[in-house]
Amino acid sequence: MSIGSSIEERAAQFAERYKAVFAELSKVIVGHGEIVHGVLTSLFVGGHVLLEGVPGLGKTLLVRTLAQTLDLDFSRIQFTPDLMPADILGTNLIVEDPDGRRRFEFQKGPIFTQICLADEVNRATPKTQSAMLETMQEKSVSIAGQVFQMKPPFFVMATQNPIEQEGTYPLPEAQLDRFLFKLVVGYSSREDLNTILERTTRGIVVEPQKVMDGGEIVEWQKLVREVILAPHVQDYVTRLTLATHPEGPFAAPATNQYLRWGASPRGAQSVALAAKVRALLGGRYNVSFEDCRRVYLPSMRHRVILNFEAEAEGVNPDTVLTEILKHVPEKVEEKTA
């Protein structure tokens, strides 16, 4: 498809195409609108998503449906305690040439795709989880001195179950920080659950149509980065990030009371980029304060680390981050000499 030349045309076309993908996903995924928006936001930013929720809420179904809606390569990796890094990345195999000579040839693993479902990612050992670090950040794989680039767009969606502790390994902070969003999938409402039963117990089969390919997604990712982030809005994002640092000059009271560590610069980048998508969906080519607030929780909840007091009192990251949003003003008066 052709993308309009003017700012207004491009923003309008993005919103239209975004809604087309959302509509196809909604044919299969009932409810969870904010979760779907979070996944699509991450896709058009070029980030990755961690979906957390109890079994049976449709996390894996959402990923598979997204792969059906987009004309992209798809692979699923089922993470288990005996999974090894080579099972993800690939390995060098000995192959024999027609003339009888033997040589090593790299056999690519399932990570070499465009949409990768890392199912139950916290069931693998830390050694195996670390195999994803380079790929998620640099979108490449280094094996035996060779660097293999991933085919764009490259998108990892990982799922994890928060209630099963036996046989699971917490994701290291370095890996959590590589996810743009952490989305918490909750239970379905009464109306949504009735709709799910109607669709799944009466033999009704719904097949989503492919509505977008990789080339178009890459073009929209470029457009997102062109959206204007004014200096005063950018400073708001900066202060929201610094407010998560305990004992820092911008720390909120809840930060000093409940947090042990705050967000890295990746947190600020995530808020800024995700807010740009929200701006485009609102028909604007510049980011507002409200855009930043709407994406703050999913961008930050996996980047802050609670202290003992918070865990003892049952305080979760969202509670602390909500207090930070209330504490940080949109604008600050500059001191004059």
Question: Residue 337: its pLDDT value, please?
Answer: 38
Question: Residue 167: its pLDDT value, please?
Answer: 64
Question: Residue 336: its pLDDT value, please?
Answer: 42
Whole-angstrom Cα distance, residue 49 to residue 65? 15
Question: Residue 104: its pLDDT value, please?
Answer: 75
Question: Residue 177: its pLDDT value, please?
Answer: 86
Topology match between the domains 1-222 and 227-330: no
Model confidence over 252-282: pLDDT tens digits?
899 999 999 999 999 999 999 999 999 999 8
* Nearest 10 degrees: Cα torsion 202, 203, 204, 207: 150
3-state helix, strand, coil in the chain (%, to 5): 45, 15, 35
Using DSSP bridges, classify how beta strands 115-119 and 155-160 pair: parallel, antiparallel or unpaired: parallel
Phi, psi dihedrals of residue 143, rounded to the nearest 5°:
-135, 125
Are the CB atoms for 104 and 96 separated by under 8 Å? no
Task: Note the helical H segments in the chain.
Answer: 7-26, 33-45, 59-69, 85-89, 126-129, 133-138, 173-176, 190-200, 214-226, 231-242, 253-258, 265-281, 289-300, 308-313, 317-327
Interacting residues of 78 by C-beta distance below 8 A, sequence separation 6+: 119, 120
From 116, 119, 120, select the one nearest 168 (Cα to Cα). 120
Question: Residue 144: its pLDDT value, please?
Answer: 73
Lowest mean pLDDT, pick from 27-41, 53-67, 69-83, 181-195: 53-67
Whole-angstrom Cα distance, residue 327 to residue 252? 6
Whole-angstrom Cα distance, residue 22 to residue 10? 18
| 1-222 has CATH 3.30.365.10 classification | no
More confident residue, 202 or 15: 15
Model confidence over 304-319: pLDDT tens digits?
999 999 889 989 999 9
Are the CB atoms for 292 and 283 separated by under 8 Å? no
| Tokens matching residue 62 | 């959402």
Mean pLDDT for 293-310 is 92
Residue recorded with tokens 């993005």: 14
Lowest mean pLDDT, pick from 51-60, 260-269, 283-292: 51-60
What is the residue extent of each domain of the chain? 1-222, 227-330
Model's pTM, two decimal places? 0.86
Mean pLDDT value across the chain? 85
Model confidence over 183-207: pLDDT tens digits?
988 787 888 888 778 777 777 777 7
Mean pLDDT for 162-186 is 79
Whole-angstrom Cα distance, residue 147 to residue 18? 33
More confident residue, 238 or 138: 238
pLDDT-derived band at 1, boundaries 50, 70, 90: very low
Residue 266, classified by CB atoms within 10 Å of its CB into exposed (0-12), middle (13-18) or buried (19+), is: middle
Q: What is the fold, at CATH topology level, of the domain defined by 227-330?
A: Helicase, Ruva Protein; domain 3 (1.10.8)
Q: Is the pLDDT of residue 238 over 80?
A: yes
